[in-house]
Amino acid sequence: MAHIIVFIACVAVAAYQLARVPRMWAFLLLFVALMPKMPIAVVPGNTTPNRVDDLVVGALLLWWAWTHVGRPFQGRREGEPERLALHEKMPPSSATFFLLLYWYAVAVCTLIGMAAMTTAPLTGVLHVGRLIEYGLLYFLFYGSIDPDELGDFVEVVRTSLLLVCGIWLLQHWTHAPVDGPPTPWATLYPTFSATYDFGGYVMLSTVLLYALWSTGASRSVLTTIALAAGAFVTVFSESRTSLLWLALVVMIDTIVQKRWWLLATGVLAVAAAPYLIRSRKMLTLITAVVALVTSFNVDVIRQAFMTDPSLALRLRNWRFAIDHWLARPFFGDGLGGYLSYSRQYDMPGPPDGWYVRVLADSGVVGFVAFVLLIAALLWILVRGVRSEERPLRRAIVYAAALAVGAASLSAVFVDTFVSYKIMGVFWTIVACGTRVAAEPDATGVASNRSALPARPASHALPAPPDPLDLK
């Protein structure tokens, strides 16, 4: 009964949000957060089956391309709005070139891998197709979310995060066994198939709200509640990678912005963690980080890898991946080739390390192309943060820069960039940030939803009103 009530409540809240913001991008954000991963067809030789979300996201991308880019072999009908050619619809951002360059690099490397028989044709096509499908979300969101809709965008992300956190809490409270100890916090994660994509989604959504709150662009009650909920769930989600890099992002922001009171709060939180957290994995992480920071002894990291089963499994797969990369250093085995040697609990699985996987799959060619993409995104967004003055616009660009940093760091230990749950919110935040950076607000007229008065020259003056409080 509790699950039925939660389902009805989620549908009702999502329907209300879509009634307020009847846009395809809003539907996609809610769909990514709330739709469970439901397999519909198993692909021979692959660990990830084709799912309902693959079909829905693919269908929406095709519909968007058909209606917004234009029919390739058919002229415009009478009375129909003019459609732009594909090259004219591309986001006018430096990131566009580097994203296309990365796609081209992995496609070429995969074709070479097929010819060398280091990856199966069906496997290579599936992995390249999924990588391009998730990246196309950047183009969709860039062209769909207008800078005047940033307030609506924040509200949809905030609503999605609150729903996910609410479902997660209710699942644990209602999933009480008749006999034995209560259910551990990390055993249930709503609509997600693994702790890493659950933690990654919550981490990036929390990063967005943190940027809004820390810059003063939005400190409304709902934003504060959602930020606290996201931080709480990240701590107890059992995704150590998400917690580690969320904490690092906050630390970097604290040092750059010189918020020493926040740094002191973080130190107190770390000191209190052993008394509040009951997860063995999280306590091991916190103990290792504290020991490394206080002693500067690299042996702490080596010991953590050797004694933790999950980290030891990663280390084993990384060694195999490096061996395969050394055998084909320039082009790798082709996407999906890792399935022939990588094992997760005696079953084929990913290496659980994105950069090692990129090297093994696409060699130096793919690795350099991916690093150039990340560097281009950071360069665009950091410049945008420095030049933007309107609080909400500046906070969105800042959130996008933090999101790129957090996702890139978490990719050291998990395959961040091939999880559609993580990529759905990642490319949305990045698309909004790069569009704001590429389209400076020269009108000087505040929008009724997202634009705010220019930031005062003196920080002593009162802060402008929060546009999200009006909702």
State residue 168's pLDDT score. Answer: 87
Note whether residue 229 is domain-resident: yes
State residue 233's pLDDT score. Answer: 87
Least confident of 37-46, 250-259, 268-277, 363-372: 268-277
- Model confidence at 105, in pLDDT bands (50, 70, 90)? very high
Least confident of 63-67, 120-124, 270-274, 444-448: 444-448
Note whether residue 470 is domain-resident: no
Note whether residue 177 is domain-resident: no
Note whether residue 245 is domain-resident: yes
Report the C-alpha gap between 138 and 432 in whole angstroms: 9
Nearest to 29 by CA among 130, 122, 121, 141: 141
Q: How many structural domains comprise the chain?
A: 1
Nearest to 383 by CA among 437, 451, 442, 455: 437
Note whether residue 393 is domain-resident: yes
**In this predicted model, what pLDDT tens digit does every residue of 287-316 receive, in sequence order?**
655 555 556 666 666 666 566 667 777 788
- Model confidence at 214, in pLDDT bands (50, 70, 90)? confident
Q: What H or E segment, with its residue span, contains residue 380?
A: helix 354-387
Note whether residue 345 is domain-resident: yes
Note whether residue 178 is domain-resident: no
Backbone angles phi, psi at 348, to 5 degrees: -60, 135
Per-residue pLDDT at 461 exceeds 50: no
Domain limits for position 166: 2-70+85-172+183-452
Considering only residues 3 and 361, tell me which one the structure prediction assigns the higher pLDDT: 361
- Model confidence at 449, in pLDDT bands (50, 70, 90)? very low
Report the C-alpha gap between 112 and 161 in whole angstroms: 41
Nearest to 323 by CA among 350, 354, 356, 291: 356
Note whether residue 364 is domain-resident: yes
